[in-house]
Chains A and B, each alone.
Chain A
Amino acid sequence: MKASVLPMNDQERLTRFESELLPLMNDAYNLARWLVKNDQDAHDMVQEAYLRAFKFFGGMRAATSKAWLLRIVRNVCYDHLRERQVPSGASDSNQEELPDADPSPEAALEIKSEIAAVRKALANLPDDFRTVLVLREMEELSYREISEITQVPIGTVMSRLARGRQHLTDLLREMRAKDLL
């Protein structure tokens, strides 16, 4: 509150910004990494998001700083994906996360592990579905916060979650069926 009355110098503004938003860095990174699917790019995305956030800090418009920061992270990542013109979701066959067509014994063993299978299936969901699932299940955000971050109505969040979960369930079933052959 004081900030609007007292002029803040740059250093004070930076200190306040960092104490409020740096604790959210791991959440920001997790989202970015799930969206761009590459370590190096995810680090760059988070750095870029913090820079953008700092420029607009003060004019923050969201229920919580977490929702605000994650919205910026999501936008930075989507811009990047659009620039790279990576086709979204299931069609990007060059992703490291994809199971091999002819899996090695080790890879086959890994697919059998539930977590590895879920990781691969989630990586192969279309971006919009993966985004809402990461925000809901890993960040445990409410529909309202997810709607703020993804900038779509709550009804859309709801249907993306339902379809995303169904899609994921089907993908997992498919992977297991292939693995049994």
Chain B
Amino acid sequence: MNCSDLHECIDPFLDNEVDLTTAQKIQRHLDECAACEGCFASRLALRHCLQTPQLRFVPTADLRARIHAQLQKEIYPPSTHFNWLPRFQFPNWILPTLAGAAAVLIFWFGSAPFLSQLRSSSRANGALIEQLVSNHLRSLAADHLFDVASSDQHTVKPWFAGKLNFSPPVFDLSEHGFKLIGGRLDYVGDIEVAAVIFQHQNHYINLFVWPGNQSNPLPNTIFQREGLNLYGWVANGLTLWAVTDAEPEALKAFVQLEKERMTE
């Protein structure tokens, strides 16, 4: 083997990609030829540099959660948000029974005209509340709490900016015990809404936000459904509903903080 032969196979030799006989020939040449040995030594030095851990790039801590959230969205797309229903395996009789009960209630309320004012608003709220409850439960059950996981309001707010034509309020309330943990896109009916997610001790709060004040929530009332507490209000041209399994007192404190921050 001469120097030009060696030049051809010095890289495969370095990479351990030559057969044993060739390797032995190369080794013999390197032992005899100082120039080639120098060349090989510089290849080894280069490899040593390239393999230092400082040359590797490391992703941010939230990348895994981002990937996971995106894949979850892939198998539970938001447009099919009622798909979770069949997975709960309701008994066959329950839907007709509920429908019957609803008909009786509607008939009963319908026969009391003096209640009509209250009825229309509470019925509208009733449907809305059922949806918010199911959105909240689904966000926990499907392990799809957020699309963007971050406790930094300056990450979550711009994330929404690229996806919605309104800007939901995103505040970091961690000093008051309500830790911002992320944001998600969701649907209420066919309206696209922002969900800002907070953690309070072991409880999660979904704050749903969408433009307009048409839902006319009953002021200063905490609604209770299926162990969840809900509170809705209107501010700055936005409708806001906070949904949580935390205590009503905690929900009140949270809403108070949101209201204060929004008027600042």
Contact = CB atoms under 8 A, between A and B. Distances in A.
B247 interface: no
Nearest to B72: A14
B12 interface: yes
Interface centre among A39, A43, A55, A168 (most CB of B within 10 A): A43
Interface stretch (B47-55, B217-225, B248-256): B47-55
B71 interface: yes
Nearest to B17: A143
A165 B11 contact: yes
B147 to A, nearest CB: 11
A47 B60 CA distance: 12
Interface centre among A39, A50, A54, A122 (most CB of B within 10 A): A50
Interface residues on B, range: 20 to 34
B47 to A, nearest CB: 6
A51 B12 contact: no
Interface residues on A, range: 35 or more
Contacts of A29: 57-59, 63
B75 A10 contact: yes
Interface stretch (A70-78, A81-89, A98-106, A131-139): A131-139
A42 B60 CA distance: 11
Contacts of A18: 68, 71
A92 to B, nearest CB: 18
B71 A17 contact: yes
B42 interface: yes
Interface in B11-42: 11-12, 15, 17, 42
Contacts of A115: 49, 52, 54-55
A47 B67 contact: yes
Interface in A135-181: 136-138, 142-143, 158, 161-162, 165, 168-169
What 7 A-B pairs come out closest when comparing CB atoms? A33-B57, A137-B50, A10-B75, A29-B59, A162-B11, A118-B49, A50-B67
Interface of A: 10-11, 13-14, 17-18, 22, 25-26, 29-30, 33-34, 39, 42-43, 46-47, 50-51, 54-55, 114-115, 118-119, 122, 133, 136-138, 142-143, 158, 161-162, 165, 168-169
7 contacts: A14-B71, A18-B71, A51-B70, A55-B74, A118-B55, A158-B12, A169-B42
